[in-house]
Structure 1
Amino acid sequence: MTKRSTIMANNYETLVLLSPELAEENRKGILDLLTSIVEREGGNMVETDDWGLRQLAYPVQKQTRGYYVRLVYDAPGNLVAELERNIRITDGIFKFMTVKLAA
């Protein structure tokens, strides 16, 4: 009997709130960075949904507007920690939330 190593991939969704002052090329650079992290760590980007600039329900870090982007990806569980670590240290992202999607 041979022992096979299989990595269980789960479906995740990360909602990222970007600063409204970022230029288009800076937003694209941040999204490219996040996509490359997912792929580098063994995940698969399923969808990038750009919701655009929207009014916030309440001020967050003195911002009343924000640029929303939803990322959907398949990934092993340890990838989420690495992605969130990079999100925390990236300038221009001021809020995010990751949830595991039902299978």
Structure 2
Amino acid sequence: MRNYEVTFILTPVLSESQLQEISDKFYNYLTSNGANIYNRENWGLKKLAYPMQKKHSGHYHYFEFEADPQLLKGLETEFAREERVMRHLVVALDKHSMLFNERRRNGEFNKKKETPKEEDGKKK
């Protein structure tokens, strides 16, 4: 079993229920085929860097999961069958990426750094 992350972009003309249905479809495909999903995020509607299929925005979704490498071929087929998916990218994670993702999930990057207080306006 290896660790992967997948990001996919859905067409912008979908309703919230349709977006949830498509996301659930891929989630259920992964879990029913033995994948362990660690993180699932809906990043929302974002502007694209360049037009795709004559569209300038898309709904981004992200999964982080552990699965058998043979499962990826079937997942790629499922993405190809779904006409509302504009693009997708599956990336294998190394140990450093897994550590970074775990820290991001735990919110370590959302905390603001504290700046040292200056004492009476004097610099040391």
TM-score normalized by the length of structure 1: 0.88
Matched, 1:44 2:33: no
- Aligned with residue 60 of structure 1, among 38, 52, 61: 52
- Over the matched positions of the two proteins, sequence identity in percent amounts to 29
What stretches of structure 1 of length at least 5 have no aligned partner? 1-8
- Structure (1 or 2) with the larger CA radius of gyration: 2
Aligned equivalent of 1:10: 2
In structure 1, the partner of 2:62 is: 70
- Deviation track 1:36-78 (CA, whole Å, cap 9, x = no partner) reads 1111111111111111001001101111001101111100001
What residue in structure 1 maps to residue 91 of structure 2?
A: 99
The superposition leaves residues 3-35 of structure 1 with CA deviations (integer Å, 9 ceiling, x where unpaired) of xxxxxx111011100000011111111111101
Which is richer in strand? 1
2:47 & 2:69 partners in 1: Cα distance?
A: 32
User: Per the alignment, in what secondary structure is the counterpart of residue 22 of structure 1?
Assistant: coil
- CA shift, 1:91, in A, is 2.5
3-state secondary structure, aligned to 2:74? helix
Opposite residue 32 of structure 1, the aligned amino acid is D
SS at match of 1:77: coil
User: What residue ranges of structure 2 are gaps of 5+ in the alignment?
Assistant: 96-124
Q: Secondary structure at the match of 1:58?
A: strand
Following superposition, which runs of at least 4 residues in structure 1 exceed 2 angstroms of deviation? none
With the length of structure 2 as denominator, give the TM-score of the two structures: 0.74
Matched residues, number:
95
